[in-house]
Amino acid sequence: MTIIDLIPSTIRMTTPLGYAALGGIYSERSGVINIALEGLMLIGAYGYVVGTHATGSAWGGLSVGIGLGILFALLHAVATITFHAEQIVTGVAINILAIGVTDYLTPAYERVQGLPEWKLPVIGSYSFLVYLVPIIMLASHVLLFKTPWGLRLRAAGESTEALKTLSLSRAKWQYFGVIMSGILASIGGCFLASDVHYFSEGMTAGRGYVALAAVIFGNWRPLYGIAGCLLFGFASSLELADLWNIPDQVLKIIPHVLTMIVLAGLVGRSRPPAALGKMES
């Protein structure tokens, strides 16, 4: 077992984290804490399996997954942005809701088809979603930091009043941020489900929270965020590697312990958007 053997599993572990983390960046940059990433991923995975089964095509599954993700993100957006509900509480509630809905309507299908795969020399073939990660990462970076739209989105997250002075709507940009997080996180969920070809209860297993830690690790920037996801993805891939006869429960906790250490070490140094979680009174 060498490091090279860990590359494929690292890539497969990083991809769903990467989508969720990019989604989290959009939401948090606009000032809305999004602990609901976990639930958005779960509902995305669920939508993929149900949609693929219903339409007979992986593309149908992807659209249903994204659709459900948008729906759940909208719920979070309406509660937090329009009604000013506490963002962490709503996020946790969305996660509970996602577990409940997927349990209530558990799909009994055995195996659904995966998304189309593209081959890469040496390392193997992966779903096309894997190759989209760096593209979306770069696009997000450009959008957030090089365009006026990105400036406005970030202004929404930095101050409750800034956009108002330009007679722009802060809520509109926050809606955009949260819905983007719904789209991206649910794509991450779709990847998870298409990778294993089935849906199981609680299959996201805390990835949404790990992704959120990657957002903080990456200082709310797409490039560094993906770097954080790679770190966590590598840690999770150890779990599958069966190294040195370490019990798999011990390997399972590595990403979680790593998350806590990273958070403790970095929180003081990384700077969250100034108006994150704040609503004008």
Partner 1 sequence: MNIRITLNKLLIYTFVQSRKLLKNCYPQLLAICGFFLLCGLVLILRGQNPLEFYTTILVSGFSSFDEFGSVLFNSTPLIFTGLAVAIGYQCGLFNIGCEGQLYVAAFAATLVGIYLYLPSILLVPLCIGAAMIAGAVWGAVPGILKAKFGAHEVINTIMMNFIAVALTNFLVTSVYQEPNQMIPHTSKIYENAMLSRLGSYIPYLPKSNLLNDSFVIACVCVVFCHIFLKYTRWGYELRLVGNAPDVAAYGGIKPGVVIIWVMALSGAIAGLAGVSDVMGYRYRFLDSFSSGWGFTGIAVALLGRNHPFGVFAAALLFGLLNKVALDIELLLNVPRGLFLAGQGLLIIGLVSIESLKKKNK
By CB under 8 A, name the binding residues for partner 1.
35, 75, 78-79, 83-86, 88-90, 92-106, 205-206, 209, 212-213, 216, 247, 249-250, 252-253, 256-257, 259-260, 263-265, 267-268
Residues contacting 28, CB < 8 A, separation 6+: 34, 157, 177, 215, 220, 272, 273, 276
**Which residue reads 């991206």 in tokens?**
184
Residue number with CB closer to partner 1 (85 or 230): 85
Q: At closest approach, how far in Å is the CB of 84 from partner 1? A: 4
Amino acid at 183: I
**Pairwise CA distance, residues 139 & 203, whole Å:** 29
- Nearer Cβ to partner 1 (84/164): 84
Tell me the closest approach of the beta carbon of residue 239 to partner 1, in angstroms. 10
Q: How many CB atoms lie within 10 A of CB 113?
A: 13
Q: How far is the CB of 64 from partner 1 (least distance, A)?
A: 18
3-state SS class at 277:
coil
Contact predicate 44/205, CB 8 Å: no
| Choice between 146 and 252, CB closer to partner 1 | 252
Shortest Cβ 78–partner 1 spacing (Å): 8
Q: Which one, 5 or 103, has the nearer CB to partner 1?
A: 103
